[in-house]
Structure 1
Amino acid sequence: MKLYRSFATVGGLTMVSRVFGFIRDIAFAWAFGSGMVADAFNVAFRFPNLFRRLFGEGAFNSAFIPLFAKELEGNGKDEARAFAEEAMSGLFAVLIGLTIVAILTMPWLMYILAPGFAATPEKFDLAVLLTQITFPYLLCMSLVALFSGVLNTFGKFVESSSVSIVLNLTLLAAIFTGFALGFHNDPAGGIVQAIGVFVAGVLQLWLLIDGLRRNNFTLKLRRPRMTPRMWRLVKLGIPGVIAGGVTQINILIGTIIASMQGGAVSQLYYADRLYELPLAIVGIAIGVVLLPDVSRHLRAGNHEAVHDAQNRSLEFSMLLTFPAAVALAVVPQPIVSALFERGMFLASDTAATSALLAVFAIGLPGFVLIKVFSPSYFAREDTKTPMYYAMISLTANTLGSIGLFFLFRSYGWMPHLGIAVATTLGGLLNASLLYATLARRGDFVLDRRVKRTLPRIVLASALMGVVLWLVARTLSHHFGPEAAEWSRFLALFAIVGAGLITYAVAVFLTGALDRRQLRSFIKR
C-alpha cells in the first residue's frame, strides 16, 4: 500500500535524522551542559527552530498543499507552477522584511523571548547576538517548506525528509569545530554554533532546489502580487500555521517562562528533544503523508478511501506511540543518564531532565493525535476550527504554565516541572477537541479494526512498562554518578532490548497485531 510505503520513507529518514540529532545533543550536553552558553544558544535557536517546525513539519503546508493539489488536478502543471511561484515570491518578500526588523530590534525583543535573562547582562547580550546570527535561518527554512510541499504533492518525500539530517550534521560539525579552535564552554563556542545554524539553512535550501530541478519543476521568483489565489492561501495559511504549530508555540512559551530559572531552558530543551523522537518519527511522518493523500481522495470523491487512510494512520501511530510514551514515562532516568550525563552535564541535570521527560511522555499520545486529526480538517480547507482549538489549548497552557511555575516554586519544587505539566495537559485538550468535532461531523468514523486494536495496544504497552520497570530497577546501580560510561550504555541497551522483545511478544499475544498483518505490512 502506497500510504504505508510513504510512512516508511518519511519515518525512516526522520529516524536517521533523529539518530544524528541525538549524537549532536550528546555532544552539545558534553560541551555546554545547562550553563549560561547553553541557555543563551537554546533561546537563540528556539525561535528559528520554531519556524523550522512550523513550516518544515507540515503546518504551513496544511494550507498550501490542498490549494496546490487543486490547481494541479484542476488546471494542470503550468497553473500549479504559477501558483507555487506566487506563493514563493510573497513568502520571500514578507520574510525578508521580518528578518531585517527582527535582527535590528532583537535587543528589545529579547525581553519578550527570555525576560529572565535580563538579570544576567552577560547571558542577555549573548542571547541577543546568537539570535541575530541564527534568525536568517527561518527565511531559508520557510522556502524549504514550500518546496517540500510541492514535492510531497507529487509523492516525493526523500528530499523534504532529509533536510533535518543536513541540520544535525552541520551543527555536529560546528561543535567539533569550536572545540578544535579551543572554544570550550565559553561564548565563542556559542557563536560557532549559531553560525552553524545559518550555514545549515543555506545547505537545506540548496538540497530542495536541487530536488525540484531533478523532478523537472523549477520555480522562479516573481514580483509579489496579491492574487485571489494568494488571498485564499493567506486566509487558510494563518489559521493553519497556528493550528499545526500549537505544540511548538507551547514549547516556546515554556522557554520564555523558564528563562526565569537558571538552567531550566536547557533542561526543558533536552527533555523536549527526547520525547520529540517518537513524535517526529510517527506524528510528523503521518502529518506529512496523510494530508496530500486525503486531499487527493477528497478531490476524487472517494470518501471510503479517506476513512480508511485516517483509520490506518490512527492505528499505525498508536501502535508505535503508546509503547514509546510508556517507556519514556517509566524509565526516564536511565535514558537521560546514558545519553547526556558527562562533561558539563551533571547528575543534578539528569534528575531534573528525567522528571520533565516523564511528564512530557504522558502527553505524547496527545501530541501525535494532533498530527493525525489535523490533516482531516486541512484537506477540507478548514483551518479555522483547528485554529480555534489551538488557541484554547494555547491559552490553557500559557495560564497553566505561569500559574504552576510559581505554585511549584512556592512549595520548593522544581518550578519548570509545572511548565511540562501544563504543556502536556494542553496537548491532550487539543487532541480531544479535534477528535470530538470530527466524530460529530462524521468526518472521522472509527472502524471495527481500530476499535478492536486500540485497547490491545494499550494492554501490550502496559505489560511492556512493567517489564521495563523491573529490569531498570535491577540495573539501577549502573546509572549512578560513579558508573562507567560503557556500563551505562550496556545497561540502557539491555533495558531497551527487554522492552522491545516484551512489546513484540505482547502485541501478538493480545492480538493487537497478527502475523498476517505483519507480513502484509512488510510486503507493502
Structure 2
Amino acid sequence: MSLVKKFATVASGTLMSRVLGFTREMLMAAALGTGPVADAFYAAFQFPNTFRRLFAEGAFNTAFVPLFAKEIEAGGIDGARRFSEEVFGVLFSVLIALTIVMELAMPLLVRTIIAPGFAGDPQKYGLTVALATIMFPYLMCMSLAAMMAGMLNSLRRYFAAAIAPVFLNVILIAVLGHAWYKGADGLSVGYAMAWGVMAAGVVQLAIVWIAARHAGISIGFKRPRLTPNVKRLLWLALPAAITGGITQINTLIGTAIASTQASAVSSLALADRVYQLPLGVVGIAVAIVLLPELSRALKAGNLVEAASLQNRSVEFTLFLTLPAAAALLAISEPIVRLLYERGEFAASGATSTVSAILAIFGLGLPAFVLIKAFTPGYFAREDTKTPMVFAAISVAVNIATALMLFPRMGAPGIAVASAIAGWVNALMLLAVLVRRGHWGHDAPLMRRIPRLVLSSALMGGALYGGAIWLAPWLASSAPVLSQATALALLCGAGALLYFVLAFATGGTDIAMIRRNIRRGQAAAASMEE
C-alpha cells in the first residue's frame, strides 16, 4: 500500500468523524447557542479531551509505536504481545488512580485550571464541575483505546483506529436528536451530552479492542511492574505527550483565559470545530502513517527512503492545507452562517465573532499540520526531549500573547496567540532538523512550495470576490438551501481553480503523483514478500 493510500485510509475515517462533528456542533449551536450551558459543557469537555490527546494520542502515537514496532521486528507477534501486556498493566493502574484523584479534586480544578473565570458565577461553576465529573472517565477509556490503536497502526491496520472516533459524534447526535424530540431544556441537554461522552468512550474502546484481537494481539492483565521496556516507554512518553498535544495545551490555556468573558469559550469551541476538519483529516493522517513508516526506514538504515518520506509528507500537507487556510481566511463568515446561524446561536448574534476566530485559525493551520509532519523526524529517532522544549517555548509564547491581546480583542485575540505559537513551534522544529542533517534539501519541494502558496493566494482572492458577488444568496435572510447551494458552488469553483493553478504553475503534477504511488506499491510489495 502506497504512502498516499495509507494517508487516504486514515483520512477517510477522520473525515467521517469530522463531518459528523459538524452535524453535532450545528445541533448544539441551535440548542444551546453560546450561552452559559454551552460555555460550561465546552469547558468541562475540554479537560478530559486535552488529557486524552496529551497522554493517549500524543504519548502512544509517538513513544509507544516505535517501541512496539521494534518488538515486532525482534520477537514477532508474541514478543509484541508480551510488551503490550507489560504496558497495559501499568497504564491501567495509573489511569484508575488518576481518575479517582481527578474526580475528587474536580471543584478545585475547575476553579483554578479549567475555567477560573466561572468562579464568580456559582450556577455556571457548579454545572461545569458536575459535567466534568461525569465526563472525566472518558479519559481512561480513550487512553486504553489509544494503546490498541497504536498497535493496530504498527501492524498497518489503520481503519479500525480511524473509524472508532466516529462513534463519539454518532452517539452525541443521537442524544441531541432525542433531546429535540422530547423538547428538553438546555440544562437537561447539557447533562445528557455529558453522559453521551462517557458512553462513547466505552464504545470506542470496545471497537479497537476487538480489532486488536482479530489482528492476533490478545492482551491479558498483568501485575504492573516497571520493566526495562516500560521504563523506556515512560522516559519517551512524557515529553512526547507534551509535544504531541501542543495544540490541545494551547486550546486549554485559551479556554481558561476566555472563561473570564461571557460566550468566549463556546465561540472558540465552535470555530475550532470547523478548523479541526482540515487539521484532523490531513495532519492526523500524516502523523499516524508517517511515524511507523519513518521508524522502519531508519531502523533499516535506509536514509534515502526516510528523507523521501519526510519531503513527500510535507509536500502532501502543504498541497492540501494551504488552499484550506486561504478558504478559511476568505469565506469564514458564510461558512459560520450556514453551519450555525439558527436557533439560540442566531439569537445571540455570535456569527461575526466566531467567523473572525475561524479566519485567524486559518492562518495557523499550515503551521499546526507541519508540526505533525516534522515531529516524527524526532520521535522516530527516539528524541522526544527536543520537541518538548520547543513545545514549552510555544506555550510560553501563546500565554504571553493571549494575555496581551485578550483584553483588547476578546476571543479573536486568543486565536491570534494560538496561530503565532504554532508558527514559532513549526519553524523551530524545521530549523533543528536541517541543522542536524536530518532534513535534506529537496529541490522539487523547494520549487513547489512558492507555487502552491501563489495558487492558494489567487484562489483565496477569487473566493473573496465570489462571496461578494453571491452576497444576496449567502446573506442571513436567504433560505438555508440557497446559502448551501451558493457556498457549495463557491467552494467547488475555488477547488477547481486551485487545482488548475497548482498544475499549471508546477506546484504539483500528475507524473510525480503516479511515480510516488508506484514507488510506494513496490516498497510495500517488497516488505510483504
**TM > 0.5 fold call:** yes
Paired residues, number: 517
> What does the per-residue CA deviation read over 1:441-471, in whole Å, with 9 as the maximum and x for residues that have no partner?
0101131111111111111111111110110
Identity value in percent: 49
> What does the per-residue CA deviation read over 1:336-385, in whole Å, with 9 as the maximum and x for residues that have no partner?
00111011112721100010111111011110010000001000000000
The reply to whether residue 381 of structure 1 matches residue 376 of structure 2 is no
Determine the structure 1 residue equivalent to 2:143: 142
Aligned-CA RMSD value: 1.4
Do the aligned partners of residues 522 and 440 (structure 1) sit closer, same or farther apart at CA in structure 2, a change above 3 Å counting? closer
Residue in structure 1 matching 2:483, options 485, 488, 497: 488
Amino acid at match of 1:424: A
> Which stretches in structure 1 are left out of the alignment for 5+ residues?
409-413
Determine the structure 2 residue equivalent to 1:368: 369
Paired residues of 2:2 and 2:517 also in contact (CA < 8 A): no
SS at match of 2:349: helix
* Shift of residue 286, structure 1, vs aligned partner: 0.4
Aligned ranges 1:78-227 → 2 under 5 Å = 78-112=78-112, 113-184=114-185, 186-227=186-227
In 2, the alpha carbon distance for the partners of 1:182 and 1:204 equals 29
The reply to whether residue 468 of structure 1 matches residue 469 of structure 2 is no
Determine the structure 2 residue equivalent to 1:253: 253
TM-score (norm 1): 0.96
Determine the structure 1 residue equivalent to 2:350: 349
In 2, the alpha carbon distance for the partners of 1:52 and 1:130 equals 17
In 1, the alpha carbon distance for the partners of 2:66 and 2:510 equals 36
Amino acid at match of 1:150: M
* Shift of residue 56, structure 1, vs aligned partner: 5.3
Paired residues of 1:64 and 1:237 also in contact (CA < 8 A): yes
Determine the structure 2 residue equivalent to 1:242: 242
Paired residues of 1:40 and 1:124 also in contact (CA < 8 A): yes
Determine the structure 2 residue equivalent to 1:294: 294
Determine the structure 2 residue equivalent to 1:48: 48
Determine the structure 2 residue equivalent to 1:329: 329
Paired residues of 2:34 and 2:344 also in contact (CA < 8 A): yes
Paired residues of 2:3 and 2:517 also in contact (CA < 8 A): no
> What does the per-residue CA deviation read over 1:177-231, in whole Å, with 9 as the maximum and x for residues that have no partner?
22233313x2111000000000000000000111011111111111111111111
In 1, the alpha carbon distance for the partners of 2:327 and 2:221 equals 48
Determine the structure 1 residue equivalent to 2:527: none
* Shift of residue 108, structure 1, vs aligned partner: 1.4
Determine the structure 1 residue equivalent to 2:32: 32
Determine the structure 1 residue equivalent to 2:414: 419
Determine the structure 2 residue equivalent to 1:65: 65
* Shift of residue 82, structure 1, vs aligned partner: 1.2
> What does the per-residue CA deviation read over 1:396-445, in whole Å, with 9 as the maximum and x for residues that have no partner?
11121112112x1xxxxx41211111111000000000000000001011
Paired residues of 2:62 and 2:240 also in contact (CA < 8 A): yes
Paired residues of 1:58 and 1:287 also in contact (CA < 8 A): no
SS at match of 2:499: helix
In 2, the alpha carbon distance for the partners of 1:310 and 1:440 equals 15
Aligned ranges 1:4-15 → 2 under 5 Å = 4-15=4-15
> What does the per-residue CA deviation read over 1:117-165, in whole Å, with 9 as the maximum and x for residues that have no partner?
1121111111110000000000000001000111111111011101211
The reply to whether residue 509 of structure 1 matches residue 504 of structure 2 is yes
Determine the structure 1 residue equivalent to 2:453: 458
* Shift of residue 388, structure 1, vs aligned partner: 0.3
Do the aligned partners of residues 58 and 464 (structure 1) sit closer, same or farther apart at CA in structure 2, a change above 3 Å counting? same
SS at match of 2:156: coil
SS at match of 1:76: helix
Amino acid at match of 2:307: H
In 2, the alpha carbon distance for the partners of 1:476 and 1:498 equals 16
Amino acid at match of 1:479: L
SS at match of 2:438: coil
> Which stretches in structure 2 are left out of the alignment for 5+ residues?
522-529
Amino acid at match of 1:511: G
Paired residues of 1:54 and 1:248 also in contact (CA < 8 A): yes
* Shift of residue 91, structure 1, vs aligned partner: 1.1
> What does the per-residue CA deviation read over 1:70-116, in whole Å, with 9 as the maximum and x for residues that have no partner?
12212332222111111111111111111111111111111121011
In 1, the alpha carbon distance for the partners of 2:90 and 2:117 equals 36
* Shift of residue 324, structure 1, vs aligned partner: 0.2
* Shift of residue 522, structure 1, vs aligned partner: 7.2
Determine the structure 2 residue equivalent to 1:313: 313
In 2, the alpha carbon distance for the partners of 1:446 and 1:323 equals 24
In 2, the alpha carbon distance for the partners of 1:236 and 1:521 equals 32
In 2, the alpha carbon distance for the partners of 1:182 and 1:104 equals 33
Paired residues of 1:57 and 1:284 also in contact (CA < 8 A): no
Amino acid at match of 2:308: D
